[in-house]
Amino acid sequence: MVARMVWVPAPTPPQGLDASVEPLVIGASGLVGGAFYRRLKQLGCDPLGTYHTHPKPELLPLDLSTDRALDSFDSGIAARLVVMAGAMTHVDRCETHPDEARRQNVENVGRVVEWCRKHERPLVFFSTDYVFDGHAGPYAEDAPTRPLSVYGRTKLEAEALVLTLPRSVVLRITNVFDIGLDDRNFVHRCVTSLRDRRSLVVPSDQVATPAYASWLAEQTVTLWERGAILCPASPRLLHVGCDENVSRGELARRVARLLGADASLIEERPTAALGQAAPRPLRGGLRNAAWKQLLGVERLSLDDALHDVLPRMRRLYAGED
């Protein structure tokens, strides 16, 4: 019998990443940026991390609303990698504040792109399955895009800007989760609601492929080290996440089972009954075959990801974090 290859998180940081590299992580106070900042620190780099509205120790303030916002990084920075993780991701607020959404999700990205172009820095940018209409997911990278919301349209416009850079990669992700980096994600909300015995109302008909932030950071850095991304001949657009396409309700129930929590607190309702301002792609999700091929693995199991984060979920559930 041939063993199936699965992604196994590195128990110790690998050696080989140049410690002189000073990656710039824009939005390091958030979930995705925080995962990258933590991973790069583990590898012995000295990353520069920024925040906008959520200050954290070690991070530098950065407001990208002006053309000169990045001037302070013009000299003295040896960044060989820029990770653009800052964005306006509140989908309903984007819908009701479209001008603000465009400033943050398109114009700010344009400033980062031009800075990277001027200083010849490679750029990692994160997009979403909201660039699709959710009629036929999960989607491959070459599937036609048709965003339904302001959020999806701004992210698609930003993708086009990023792809004008020769050394850039757009990573589409969805339903990103983790514990201990930022509490504004679905799994964190599941754990705290179950812990506090509060009803957890979730959409029954929104299906997607969750992405585990710790794996996202580790796998991306691994592929960067290997030269599999951010090189002239490497893919420019990739879909990243776990294999399973699951509903929010199913994901919440898996969390409840792992914690031994009361799953009856989970209440599923159709999206149409939730009164959300922005339309959602109901049958969303992303096909990750190209990503797995680059990594050289056959499986990126959601259950494996949940078991990896389970010790932190248990501490949060116990009120220790």
Strand, coil or helix: what is 172? strand
Residue 5 belongs to some domain of the structure = no
Token pair recorded at residue 305? 């990801």
Q: Report, as an integer, the average pLDDT of 104-124.
A: 94
Indicate the range of 72-81, 148-157, 166-175, 209-218 predicted with least confidence: 72-81
Going from the C-alpha of 237 to that of each of 159, 287, 290, the distances in angstroms are 9, 12, 10
Percent of the chain past pLDDT 70, that is, above it, reads 93
- Cα separation, 320 vs 183, in Å, equals 14
User: Is 236 in contact with 168 (CB distance < 8 Å)?
Assistant: yes
Residue 12 belongs to some domain of the structure = no
Residue 9 belongs to some domain of the structure = no
- Cα separation, 271 vs 284, in Å, equals 13
Residue 1: what pLDDT?
A: 41
Residue 55: what pLDDT?
A: 83
Indicate the range of 44-58, 64-78, 290-304 predicted with least confidence: 64-78
Query: Does residue 209 carry a pLDDT above 60?
Result: yes
Query: Does residue 75 carry a pLDDT above 80?
Result: no
Tell me, what amino acid is at 246? V
- Cα separation, 292 vs 306, in Å, equals 18
Q: How confident is the model at residue 256 (pLDDT cuts 50, 70, 90)?
A: very high
Indicate the range of 46-50, 76-80, 260-264 predicted with least confidence: 76-80
Going from the C-alpha of 270 to that of each of 16, 105, 163, 204, the distances in angstroms are 49, 28, 36, 5
Task: Round the CA-based radius of gyration of the chain to a whole number and report it.
Answer: 19
Model confidence, pTM: 0.94
Non-local CB neighbours of 31 within 8 Å, separated by 6+ positions: 176, 177, 178, 181, 182, 184, 185, 213
Residue 313 belongs to some domain of the structure = yes
- Taking only the tens place, the pLDDT of each residue in 130-173 is 999 999 999 999 999 999 999 999 999 999 999 999 999 999 99
Residue 228: what pLDDT?
A: 95
Residue 261: what pLDDT?
A: 97
Residue 45: what pLDDT?
A: 86
CATH code assigned at 155: 3.40.50.720
Going from the C-alpha of 261 to that of each of 111, 197, 224, 313, 321, the distances in angstroms are 46, 9, 39, 12, 18
Q: Report, as an integer, the average pLDDT of 107-111.
A: 96
Residue 15 belongs to some domain of the structure = no
Higher pLDDT, 11 or 99: 99
Token pair recorded at residue 12? 């110790």
Q: Report, as an integer, the average pLDDT of 308-314.
A: 96
Instruction: Name the domain count of the chain.
Output: 1
Going from the C-alpha of 125 to that of each of 40, 81, 106, the distances in angstroms are 16, 11, 12
Residue 8: what pLDDT?
A: 78
Task: Provide the domain limits for residue 254.
Answer: 24-317
Residue 247 belongs to some domain of the structure = yes
- Taking only the tens place, the pLDDT of each residue in 1-37 is 444 678 777 765 555 555 556 899 999 999 999 999 9
Q: Report, as an integer, the average pLDDT of 213-241.
A: 95
Residue 224: what pLDDT?
A: 93
Query: In the chain, which ranges are continuous DSSP H helix?
Result: 31-42, 91-96, 98-102, 108-119, 150-162, 186-195, 213-226, 248-259, 289-295, 302-317
Residue 22: what pLDDT?
A: 80
Residue 8 belongs to some domain of the structure = no
Residue 69: what pLDDT?
A: 79
Residue appearing with tokens 């979920």: 313
State the average pLDDT for the chain: 91
Residue 175 burial by Cβ neighbours in a 10 Å radius (0-12, 13-18, 19+) = buried
Residue 2 belongs to some domain of the structure = no
